[in-house]
Structure 1
Amino acid sequence: MKFQPSNIANMNAFMIVSTFFCLWLAVYFGDRAEALLAYLFVFSFGIMHGANDLKLIQRTTGMSSRSFYMRALVSYLLVIGIITVFFSFVPILALAFFVLASAYHFGEQHWASRTSLPSILRELFFMAYGMLIFFLLFYFHADEVTGVIHDVTDFSIPTAFYFYGLLVSGLTFLVFFAWIAFNSLLLTHIIEELFYLLVFYVLFQSASLIWGFSIYFVIWHSIPSLMDQVQFLSGEISSKALWSYFKSSFLYWIISLAGLGILYYIFQGQDKLFFSILVYFLAAITFPHVLVMNKVNRI
């Protein structure tokens, strides 16, 4: 169950205004304050939008017994554990898998209600769009991204890779997009979607790596996804439905934040090591969330 057209228009206007407001706001912050604000964004709405997955699993399966809930919880934690181990032994492959899964997830969230493509083509289109977003961000911050990847995996990627990645993903998306529009499979406006890409171009070129990513992740992904989930669970977008969502996700959100807080305390003063662990943590909780949201979007 998706937003009605009027709600989509209101949400899109909110996202555009919020994006440029955040860019303007950054002018008045130093690098450290900007980074702290970016982490606050990610740790609030960013983590919150994935904190209700067990409730979504119950709704998609129609099972609500306590025993099913416990089995779902154990399975969810098992996936997180497997991903964590995967990162520990083959970090470069795990990171690549994480980026691919996140790219698909970004594309699915944005396009699931905006195109009527058949199944296999939908997945490829979602992936192309998500990779375009990532490579647009990576291209404008190539040296910094290469440094982050090296810190996490000890693997060095030449900065030219991001240009070619942007070129391939961009052309792939545009070919898909033109074909979708030509075959009347587009459920939104062509100019509108191209304008959003222009907004992302300005965002990623103007903002720092962490600030640009946090703005996109929270404003363009997490909040719309959270609204979709509220609509799916409650059948409406209202203050009552939002409060119900917040109450049901609050415990898991707090547990996630507490875990991060403990890790930060343990590794304080070791910024590179903590950042690597933070990437592992976000990757571990992303994979099961991607699977859950894929199930929701197929209903």
Structure 2
Amino acid sequence: MVKTREILIIITFFSLWLTNYFAAGSQSILAFSLLFSVGLIHGSNDLQLLNKTFFKTKRTTFFTQLGLYLLVVFTAFALFFWLPVVALTLFILVSGYHFGEQHWDEFFGRSVWNKMFYASYGLGILFLLFYLNPEDTTAVIEQLTAFAVPKDWFVYGLIGSGAVFGLLLIKYAYQQKIAPAKLAQELLLLVVFTILFYWASLVWAFTIYFIFWHSIPSIKEQVQYLYGKVTKKSVLKYLRGAVWVWLISMVGLLVFFKLMESGNQSFLTIFFSFLGAITFAHTVIISRMFDQQN
């Protein structure tokens, strides 16, 4: 585990170093290439996970499962256009919990306090990113919602989530639920994230965190859950199962963007609406996966 973290830290700083050699436009192209490939792939096996987590002991057809999944995705997607402020708020809350749960679940469990810990950690990461990139963050939010968010909100969000996370972390350390070495690693990691978010642009910083610290570890956990162990063969099986959903997602996103091209929606608006729509369903499925593993 330590070795993996050390490799990820090296990759993080290498990715940060690359920003010296890429203009902002090139960074965005590289960032979206990673988000469209690894980022979407990590959520493209949701149907197989849905079958195993919710319907393994129930007699339901593939099309019933697909219909339920698409209903959630399209409802969430529509929410970004009908009630964008509500949708974005839910997206941030759900994403924060999802990031924290994926990062910490193997060390704790499924109690209410632990879930609060996961949410506070993930929200702390997001608000740290927003706080260190206030101009770009407010611009993206205004594109999505037509609402100009006061920059002080990022401070309040960071202080609030950070305080809850810090208090629970102290509680767990006092109860010896987290080893001193692990505590030191996690605090060092927060320093690494702070450096990353401070020096990189909003999109590039989010991409590095999302791909290397969330998506790739999540793929590893999904492969372990679906196939029992992580091997070259099981990873390839996972990718074969995910690729057709990934292709459909890419085609759907492209078609929808073309349909909306004549309107006022920017590519960024459509992309984050699409990402948010998938995130709602994905978070429920992954959380159920963790429930069954504990």
**How does 1:186-197 map onto structure 2 within 5 Å?**
186=178, 189-197=182-190
Query: How many angstroms does 1:263 deviate by?
Result: 3.5
Q: 1:186 is paired with a residue of what secondary structure?
A: coil
The residue that corresponds to 2:89 in the other structure is 96
Partner of 1:158: 150
Task: Look up the match of 1:126.
Answer: 118
Cα displacement string for residues 54-94 of structure 1 (whole angstroms, at most 9, x for unaligned residues): 11122224638994322111100000121122222211011
Q: 2:247 corresponds to which residue?
A: 254
**Which residue number in structure 1 is paired with residue 46 of structure 2?**
53
Tell me the CA shift for residue 10 of structure 1.
3.2
Q: Percent identity?
A: 37
1:227 corresponds to 2:220: yes
User: What CA distance in whole angstroms lies between the structure 2 residues aligned with 1:180 and 1:34?
Assistant: 39
Are residues 1:24 and 2:4 paired? no
Consecutive unaligned residues in structure 1, runs of 5 or more: 1-7
Name the residue aligned to 1:172.
164
Could you tell me which residue of structure 2 aligns to residue 273 of structure 1?
A: 266
Partner of 1:15 in structure 2? 8
State how far apart, in whole Å, the 2-side matches of 1:240 and 1:62 are. Answer: 25
Runs of at least 5 residues in structure 2 that lack an aligned partner in the other structure: none
Aligned length: 291
One-letter code aligned to 2:272: V
**Partner amino acid for 1:157?**
V
**In structure 2, what is the Cα distance between the partners aligned to 1:65 and 1:178?**
42
Paired with 2:165 and 2:106, the residues of 1 have a C-alpha distance of: 17
SS at match of 2:270: helix
Amino acid of the residue matched to residue 237 of structure 1?
A: V
Matched, 1:137 2:129: yes
Which of 89, 101, 123 is the equivalent residue of 1:108?
101
1:241–1:10 CA distance, 2 compared to 1 (3 A): farther
The correspondence for 1:216, drawn from 209, 229, 232, is 209
1:119-178 alpha-carbon deviations (Å, 9 max, x no partner): 111111111001100110000111211111111111111112111211121121111111
Q: 2:107 is paired with a residue of what secondary structure?
A: coil
State the one-letter code of the partner of 1:170. Answer: G
TM-score, length-normalised on structure 2? 0.94
Higher mean displacement: 266-275 or 217-226? 266-275
Once the two structures are TM-superposed, the CA of residue 234 in structure 1 deviates from its matched residue by 1.1
3-state SS of 2:106 partner: coil
CA 264–33 in structure 1, closer or farther in 2 if over 3 Å, else same: farther
Regions of 4+ moved over 6 Å: none
Q: Which whole-Å CA distance do the structure 2 matches of 1:289 and 1:247 have between them?
A: 19
Letter in 2 for 1:92: V
Which AA in structure 1 matches 2:131? Y
Instruction: Quote the Cα distance in structure 2 between the aligned partners of 1:246 and 1:143.
Output: 37
- What is the Cα deviation at residue 196 of structure 1? 0.7
Q: Does structure 1 residue 236 correspond to structure 2 residue 208?
A: no
Q: Is the contact between residue 267 and residue 274 of structure 1 (CA under 8 Å) also seen in structure 2?
A: no
**Cα RMSD (Å) of the superposition?**
1.9
Contact 1:87/1:94 (CA < 8 Å) preserved in 2?
yes
Give the drift of 1:26: 1.6
Residues 141-150 or 128-137, more deviating: 141-150
**Cα distance in 2, alignment partners of residues 269 and 85 from structure 1:** 18
Q: Which amino acid aligns with 1:236?
A: K
CA distance 1:265–1:87, shift in 2 (3 Å) = closer
The 1-side partners of 2:262 and 2:32 are apart by 17
**8 A contact 1:58–1:64 mirrored in 2:** no
Determine if the alignment matches structure 1 residue 282 to structure 2 residue 247.
Answer: no
CA contact (8 A) 2:257 2:270 kept: no
User: 1:79 aligns to what?
Assistant: 72
Question: CA 1:211–1:272 in structure 2 vs 1: closer, same or farther (change >3 Å)?
Answer: farther
Structure 1 172/196 Cα, relative in aligned 2: closer, same or farther at 3 Å? Answer: same
